[in-house]
Amino acid sequence: MNFQYQHPADQLVMIMQRIYERGMTTTSGGNLSILDENGDIWITPKGIDKGSLTRSDIICVKPDGSCIGPHEPSSELPFHASVYKRRPDIRAVLHAHPPALVAFSIARKLPEVDLIPTVRKTCGELAMATYAVPGSEQLGENIAAKFDDGINIVLLENHGVCIGGKDLFAAFMAFETLEYSANLEITANKLGKPNVLSPQAFNVTQTRHHLLMDDFIPRYHSTEECAARRDMITLIHRSYRQGLFNATHGTYSVRLSDGSFLITPFGHDRAYLQEEDLVRIKGGMKEQGKIPSRAVKFHEAIYQKHPDIGAILLAHPLHVMAFAVTDTPFDARTIPESYILLREIAKEPFEGIYMNPEMAAEKFSKRVPAVIYKNDCVVVTGQNLLQAFDRLEVAEATAHSIVASHDVGGIVHITPEEVTDLKKAFHLED
């Protein structure tokens, strides 16, 4: 979906709906704005249900301060206007009260941005603005002063967060990414001390494999391929709704019977991905005119090494990722379903997927269908897409239960003898 072709009012409604549906604001909380090429500020209204906004509810504030629309503009208009005045490069402002970032704002502490590489890349540096009355000129000045320093994300003491971007989607992407990371830090602290990436680690994932592949032109799209595209899109959208990955991070692939495979594209919004956006990879070449995920060589290596694997999911589910950023091992011997589907989950170094995809591919087996990559992601495999997705859901549910058990008492794992019984009963191979 290309935001450039959408009216500012439609953009504001769409993004506010996503924020509300993902539980990152309340009916009365938060506000968004866009500065257009005429100098008009399009902004969400004051006191209107954020869960049922329509384009007719959006207010246009003219450069002279006059307003066009059926409602009053948000009471936070002063700080939106202040940011635009001080930072001509910013064309959209997002303000909301998501639970995890509010937790940091009321503790008056900035969240860590180096738990996984996508956060610093997407969000950059953070700052904290001194508390002032909501809607006041002083609050606007406090926020704008931080933006003057080149900061695009400002937490507000005892209030929430304000984010500026080159467009509304860029601001939303930073917002969603930072709230996820804040939640990850809070969750990981229940397991142990989170490990932070070193500055050198950020050079590791600068792979260009996905950009340098030769093109091929498909002669036709088989019934098998069309069905696979449909099923992938269905589960990609479900994965986004369930928070298994966010707007621009998370890679799914499915093998086709001719040895080619379909994979998610690079840089596309997962919430609106369509069948035609998926990229077919065949003989080391990519479908003409498309750019595949940066992890394409890793997926290709797994398929070459393991003919029994038919689908690969790379994702960032919150509770599994808490194990990825701490030294706590993930032990699936919790309930029978978890062990039967997940068996043993390995944990591998951060750089494995991109530095040596062939070696990373060797880690998978029937006994090890999923691997956690430290400070990066979890990769789950299956004979088909549905099995892989089931494993991903079970991995996240299992991780959630383990994290929650820390507030209940010590975990009693299934014993080795009970594991042997499960292997016999369900014909599990080693």
Q: Please indicate, yes or no, if residue 195 is contained in any of the structural domains.
A: no
Looking at the fold, whether 55 and 139 belong to one and the same domain comes out as yes
Looking at the fold, whether 309 and 350 belong to one and the same domain comes out as yes
Count Cβ atoms below 10 Å from residue 109 Cβ, excluding itself: 11
Looking at the fold, whether 222 and 151 belong to one and the same domain comes out as no
Looking at the fold, whether 296 and 395 belong to one and the same domain comes out as yes
Q: CB within 8 A of 313, min separation 6: which ones?
A: 239, 251, 252, 379, 380, 381, 382, 388, 389, 391, 392
Q: Please indicate, yes or no, if residue 337 is contained in any of the structural domains.
A: yes
Show pLDDT as tens, one digit a residue, over the chain (430 residues).
Answer: 677 789 999 999 999 999 999 999 988 889 999 999 999 999 999 989 988 999 999 999 999 999 999 999 999 999 899 999 989 999 999 999 999 999 999 999 999 999 999 899 999 999 999 999 988 888 888 998 999 999 999 999 999 999 999 999 999 999 999 999 999 999 999 999 999 998 767 665 556 666 778 899 998 899 999 999 999 999 999 999 999 988 878 999 999 999 999 999 998 999 999 999 999 999 999 999 999 999 999 999 999 999 999 999 999 999 999 999 999 999 999 999 999 999 999 999 987 888 889 999 999 999 999 999 999 999 999 999 999 999 999 999 999 999 999 888 878 999 999 999 999 999 997 7
Looking at the fold, whether 369 and 295 belong to one and the same domain comes out as yes
Q: CB within 8 A of 234, min separation 6: which ones?
A: none
Q: What range does the domain containing 303 cover?
A: 203-425
| pTM of the shown model | 0.94
* Domain end call among 126, 155, 188: 188
* Domain end call among 188, 217, 245: 188
CATH number of the structural domain spanning residue 235? 3.40.225.10
Read off the pLDDT of residues 240-294 as tens digits, 9 standing for 90 and up: 999 998 887 899 999 999 999 999 999 899 999 999 999 999 999 999 999 999 9
Looking at the fold, whether 227 and 162 belong to one and the same domain comes out as no
Q: Please indicate, yes or no, if residue 193 is contained in any of the structural domains.
A: no
Which pLDDT belongs to residue 203?
63
Looking at the fold, whether 83 and 220 belong to one and the same domain comes out as no
Q: How far is CA 86 from the centre of its chain?
A: 30
d(CA 386, CA 414): 26
Is the sign of the CA dihedral 366, 265, 118, 207 positive or negative? positive
Looking at the fold, whether 164 and 227 belong to one and the same domain comes out as no
Q: How many domains does the chain have?
A: 2
Looking at the fold, whether 121 and 11 belong to one and the same domain comes out as yes
Looking at the fold, whether 311 and 388 belong to one and the same domain comes out as yes
